[in-house]
Amino acid sequence: MNPLESMGAWSPGNEAPLFTPDGIATAVLRFREPTHVIRDNHSGAMGVAFGGQPAGGNGAFGWIGRLPAVFPEWLGDRAFCETHRLRFPYVAYHVGGLAKAKHRGRNAVRREEGRLVSRAPAAH
């Protein structure tokens, strides 16, 4: 079986499926919602959809699969977060660059009231 082969039809809900690059880029921001991966059976284009449901038989859209909601709080090891009193077990980029400790560098990370704080140069 081809991993991108439809496993049935997808029946739309209240929102139209997204097939354009801009639509899919916008959909990425909705990572906290379950997402269906679908194919337009007429054009063959791959897309994503919110709402709706898989359906048996054939339809305008083939159902490839479902991506569950992802919550940043669920990523990583819970014990690591508890040990370091963190909510999220990862470092994020920010305007001043990657927030990381650099000895003798201008960027530093320090613990302040139980949370990590970056001291980075202001962006110009």
Task: Read off the pLDDT of residues 2-24 as tens digits, 9 standing for 90 and up.
Answer: 667 778 888 888 999 999 999 99
* Bridge partners, residue 48, by sequence: 18, 37
Ordered by start, the domain boundaries in the chain are 9-70, 73-119
| Mean local confidence (pLDDT), 104-122 | 48
pLDDT at 99 over 80: no
Taking only the tens place, the pLDDT of each residue in 31-86 is 999 999 999 999 999 999 999 888 877 888 999 999 999 887 777 777 887 887 87
Least confident of 39-48, 86-95, 107-116: 107-116
Q: Report the predicted TM-score, pTM, of the whole model to 2 decimal places.
A: 0.60
- Cα gap 100→93, rounded to integer Å: 10
CB 86 within 8 A of CB 116: yes
Here the contacts of 85-91 (C-beta below 8 Å, separation 24 or greater) are: 85/114, 85/115, 86/115, 86/116
Higher-confidence position of 3 and 117: 3
> At 96, phi and psi to the nearest 5?
-80, 0
Give me the pLDDT at residue 37, please.
94
- Cα gap 38→49, rounded to integer Å: 7
